[in-house]
Amino acid sequence: MAEALLQVEELSVAYGQVEAVRGVSLHVARGQIATVIGPNGAGKTTLLGAIMGLLPSRGAIRFAGDRIDGRDTEALVRRGISLVPERRELFADMTVQENLELGGFSRRRAGESRAALANTMEEVFALFPRLKERLPQLAGTLSGGERQMLAVGRALMGKPKLLLLDEPSLGLAPLITRDILHTISRLRESGLSVLLIEQNARAALQTADYGYVLETGELSLEGEADRLLHDERVIATYLGRH
């Protein structure tokens, strides 16, 4: 197995008395896609929120060998982690161009040039040509698929080493979902590591290298994605028989 870029050990997250995530340990290898599948309410989004520093958690989180639990979200962005949240969280009354520019905010503050950002923006356009056509449009007026492209594009503008994706297929037509997952596979080839959270288990396992099954806050199963695709329990619960 390749070296782990992200390593989560015994992570627990509680909302008051309720533990939404309990003792979860997982890792994302460098240059690979790992996925966490599971039903609604299993704690998948909570898990990503905790990794990204948006929610307080217990347990250890390591990124490239360094402990990052307890660090600010902004510090993690600077370290090279980007989250594309389930709700996209775009700047609705700003243009597509401004959304993308702000995606590079940390890099600009770290002293990178406008030209470097323009290059990254061209790379984003190569992945999502539609965004280039929509540059002057307000983000709030985009279609669902375009918003998802913009959310991923904005995250990529930060040149992350690790991309956390929360339900990229949510509310999208199957064809668009396929496009977006296909784009994510292409990103892996450029060296990006991805942690993908998905309800659409089949699409997720087909895209990923390694998979985890999260049920009511605990991991119940893990393994190579190919193997999980043929696992009896996964088929019965998440994939359905054909």
Partner 1 sequence: MDSTIVALLAQDGLTNGSIYCLLALALVLVFAVTRVIFVPQGEFVVYAALTMASFDGARTPGTVWLLLALGGAAWLADTVKLRREPRRMALAWLATAAPCVAAAGLVAWVAASKAPFVVQALTTVLAVTAMGPAVYRLAFQPVASASVLVLLIVAVALHFVLTGLALLFFGAEGVRTPAFTSASFSFGNITVSGQSLLVYAFTAVLIVVMAVFFRYALFGKALRATAANRTGARLVGISPDFAGRLCFTLAAAIGAVSGLLIGPITTVYYDSGFLIGLKGFVGAIVGGLVSYPIAAGGALFVGLVESFSSFWASAYKEVLVFTLIIPVLLWRSLSTTHSDEEE
Interface positions with partner 1 (CB under 8 A): 52, 54, 72-74, 77-78, 82-83, 85, 89-94, 98, 101-106, 108-109, 154-155, 157-158
Rounded least distance, CB 224 to partner 1, Å: 31
Dihedral in degrees, nearest 10, Cα atoms 176, 182, 187, 190: -150
Measure the CA–CA gap between 184 and 180, rounded to whole angstroms. 6
Rounded least distance, CB 20 to partner 1, Å: 17
DSSP at 138: B
Rounded least distance, CB 94 to partner 1, Å: 6
Closest CA to 5 of 164, 214, 184: 164
Q: Which two tokens stand for residue 107?
A: 């890099």
Which residue, 146 or 231, has its beta carbon nearer to partner 1?
146
Measure the CA–CA gap between 140 and 98, rounded to whole angstroms. 12
Rounded least distance, CB 200 to partner 1, Å: 23
Rounded least distance, CB 145 to partner 1, Å: 19
Which residue, 35 or 99, has its beta carbon nearer to partner 1?
99
Q: How many residues does the chain have?
A: 242
Which residue, 25 or 95, has its beta carbon nearer to partner 1?
95
Supply φ then ψ for residue 208, to 5 degrees: -90, 165
Which amino acid makes up residue 149? M
Which amino acid makes up residue 62? R
Which residue, 120 or 225, has its beta carbon nearer to partner 1?
120
HSE value, Cβ hemisphere, 13 Å, CA-based, for 12:
9
Rounded least distance, CB 91 to partner 1, Å: 4
Measure the CA–CA gap between 221 and 215, rounded to whole angstroms. 9
Q: Tell me the helix, strand and coil percentages in the chain, rounded to 5.
A: 40, 30, 30
Which residue, 119 or 236, has its beta carbon nearer to partner 1?
119
Which residue, 131 or 205, has its beta carbon nearer to partner 1?
131
